[in-house]
Chains A and B, each alone.
Chain A
Amino acid sequence: MDSITDKAEQLRHKISQAEKELQDLRMQLEELESTTRNLNTNQQLGSTSESAHPTDTIPEWKWPLSEEEYSRYGRQLILPTVGINGQLHLKSAAVLIVGAGGLGCPAAAYLAGAGVGTLGVVDGDTVEVSNLHRQIAHSTQRVGMMKVDSLIEYCRGLNPVVSYVAHREHLTPQNSEAIVSEYDLVLDCTDHPTSRYLISDICVLLRKPLVSASALRTDGQLIVLNSPPTAQGSTEGGPCYRCIFPKPPPAESVVSCGEGGILGPVVGVMGVLQALEAIKLIVTGVGKDSNSTPKDPIAPSLLLFSATSTTPFRSIRMRSRRPNCFACSTGSTLTLKELRAGSLDYVQFCGVAKPVDVLKPEERVSAKEYNDILTKQPDKDHLLLDVREKEHFEIASIPGAINVPFSTIQTRSKTSTDDDSLASEYIPKSLSAHAPIYVICRVGNDSQLVTKRLKEIGLDANGERFVGDIEGGMLAWKRHVDQTMPFT
């Protein structure tokens, strides 16, 4: 068993090294090719470089796009909304994608396909298997690779004409100015409020329009912010993220895709819509010259997508800039200097959800301890209450466990009269009065709250009966007891 694990580890190591080498080679080739391309362009533009090449025999190309570009973009070039001018705007635009995940993958793919001049991607994460159902630019072979490199490799395959810039790090208050200032337009494809506030702030400071989207479970949201990107204090500009959400949500209410789940096409739709909004802004000349910026601010609107609703798309009229906005109003004290100096602590601003810690050590057993009880006293009368949501429970559970989802308990425990029903409904009648109750959840937070609740309603019979939780939940069970247990 161990030798197999070792062998697999060695192979994984070898693969990742080979992938690194391959990537280096690709980058070298790309540099070489782009040099040749530039050389050719210079010759076409009649530069004074040496001209004793076969290119002499080809008649001079006198159109603004290369021949290949006319073929490549022909289908969108003939649209009234794009046209040759729109395509030239795209070609001269530099777009930054922050986050190479479920939103960033489709957004980058469509922008690369459409022929933006420069596409930058920021992300410090590596590809994981659990990403692949929705982060369509990555691949099974590229698990473990930097997401930025994986996404760029995919986009380069799609369109080698675009120049790609990899930023293999997360956006921080310190690096954001240097990175964002190189671009005309930013797409927020991240997955947390901390990055969303940071991206909005730097876009306000550097006057970049921002296309922001998010998704969770079967819902998505899209909004174009800071468009037009006028200076701080100007009322002509579009609202920023802080105008819409002046206060961050409590950290406990922030649900990630890992916890809440996400359907691939839902986040895909939102990423595609981001690319669409970006293209619409670029073809009208955003970021190029202020004259072409639409005079009337586009009425800000928030697009809501609910995959399971009878009306999946809804557009909501939103407010304009907030007169007392922390970031974009006249009175704002937000400056690049402040940001660089790190005076804004985005993590602290948004808060961190503290792990639940309401039980005493003697009210908890480890996964190993519970397993010992099972193996040593297989007939021991007890109850294992699994409080994960039904979907998790149905995937895999410890034999004998009874499922009462946390959300159900929350619903039942609103009024005190429900307490009896909670106990009678979920505690089997056959369970003897003093048989212990063990509560388990996914990682050991909800189980503590339920344990506390069960004790409050008197199920511990004033200490006669043990009521406690399994520390670390199903994750600990998988790690320390049963590796074959699927964990979701």
Chain B
Amino acid sequence: MSTATETVPAPTQVEIPKISIDVEFTGGLEMLFSDQRRHTISLPAANKDGKPATIADLIHYLCEHTMKDARKDLFVLQDHLRPGILVLINDADWELEGEEAYEIQAGDNILFVSTLHGG
């Protein structure tokens, strides 16, 4: 797993460096992401305001670039993650890490889990 930050050797334009992270989906969410549980994502290291990329930026990025399914509302509601989805940052609940404001580090493992109700 590459944790190296992709850098541009000689930036001709204002090229935003990217960070490589692992994103996983489980609990049925993978069905919204081409039935693939694990995705390696190259995320722009800074958002459009020039601030370091956060989980909120990642969620936005996933909706725009990774999700092929039209049912966006099964992932995001009113610009926020829909209730019933847990985010786990390196195997810890995102609430221990600052939730949407957590600044993503290269090599992070971000897991999105849809809660199950069946029994």
State the A residues within 8 Å of B (CB): 99, 101-104, 188-193, 196, 213-217, 219-221, 244-250, 252-257, 260, 262, 267, 270, 302, 304, 306, 309, 314-319, 407, 410-411, 413-414
Residues of A within 8 A of B73 (CB): 250, 252
B82 touches A221 (CB 8 A): no
- Whether B118 sits at the interface, judged by CB under 8 Å, is yes
A104 touches B83 (CB 8 A): no
Residues of A within 8 A of B113 (CB): 221, 304
Residues of B within 8 A of A253 (CB): 74, 82, 84, 114
B83 touches A248 (CB 8 A): yes
Chain B, interface SS category: loop
Residues of A within 8 A of B85 (CB): 249
A316 touches B82 (CB 8 A): no
Contact flag A216-B70 (CB < 8 Å), given A101-B119, A254-B117: no
Chain A, interface SS category: mixed
Residues of B within 8 A of A196 (CB): 117
Residues of B within 8 A of A101 (CB): 119
A249 touches B68 (CB 8 A): no
A104 touches B119 (CB 8 A): yes
Distance in angstroms between the alpha carbons of A262 and B116 in the assembled complex: 11
* Top-5 shortest CB links A-B: A249-B84, A247-B83, A257-B118, A216-B118, A214-B116
Contact flag A250-B84 (CB < 8 Å), given A304-B26, A306-B26, A319-B96: yes
B interface residues, how many (CB within 8 angstroms): 33
A215 touches B118 (CB 8 A): yes
Distance in angstroms between the alpha carbons of A88 and B4 in the assembled complex: 56
Closest CB in chain A relative to B103 CB, distance in Å: 19
Distance in angstroms between the alpha carbons of A410 and B28 in the assembled complex: 15
B83 touches A317 (CB 8 A): no
Closest CB in chain B relative to A28 CB, distance in Å: 32
B119 touches A255 (CB 8 A): no
Distance in angstroms between the alpha carbons of A22 and B2 in the assembled complex: 66
B83 touches A245 (CB 8 A): yes
Residues of A within 8 A of B70 (CB): 410-411, 413-414
Determine which residue in B77, B83, B117 has the highest number of CB atoms from chain A within 10 A of its CB, and name it.
Answer: B117
A214 touches B117 (CB 8 A): yes
B119 touches A219 (CB 8 A): no
A219 touches B69 (CB 8 A): no
B69 touches A255 (CB 8 A): no
Smallest Cβ-Cβ distance to A192: which chain B residue: B117
Interface residues of B in 96-118 (CB under 8 A from A): 96, 111, 113-118
Query: Among B5-13, B39-47, B50-58, B86-94, which stretch is in contact with chain A?
Result: B86-94
Task: Report B64-77 CB contacts with A as 1/0, cut-off 8 Å.
Answer: 00011111011001
- Whether B17 sits at the interface, judged by CB under 8 Å, is no
Interface CB pairs A-B, < 8 A, 25: A102-B119, A103-B119, A188-B119, A214-B115, A214-B116, A215-B118, A219-B116, A220-B116, A247-B84, A248-B83, A248-B84, A249-B84, A252-B74, A255-B117, A267-B118, A304-B113, A314-B91, A315-B91, A316-B92, A317-B92, A317-B96, A319-B95, A407-B31, A410-B71, A414-B68
Q: Which of A249, A267, A309, A318 contacts B82 (CB 8 A)?
A: A249
Residues of B within 8 A of A214 (CB): 115-119
Distance in angstroms between the alpha carbons of A213 and B31 in the assembled complex: 22
Residues of A within 8 A of B31 (CB): 407
Smallest Cβ-Cβ distance to B24: which chain A residue: A309
A316 touches B117 (CB 8 A): no
Residues of A within 8 A of B96 (CB): 317, 319
Closest CB in chain A relative to B29 CB, distance in Å: 10
Q: Which of A102, A309, A318 contacts B93 (CB 8 A)?
A: A318
Residues of A within 8 A of B93 (CB): 302, 316-319
Residues of B within 8 A of A104 (CB): 119
Distance in angstroms between the alpha carbons of A205 and B74 in the assembled complex: 33
Residues of B within 8 A of A193 (CB): 117
Smallest Cβ-Cβ distance to A413: which chain B residue: B70
Distance in angstroms between the alpha carbons of A318 and B83 in the assembled complex: 16
B27 touches A219 (CB 8 A): yes
A216 touches B116 (CB 8 A): yes
- Whether B37 sits at the interface, judged by CB under 8 Å, is yes
Distance in angstroms between the alpha carbons of A414 and B82 in the assembled complex: 19
A414 touches B69 (CB 8 A): yes
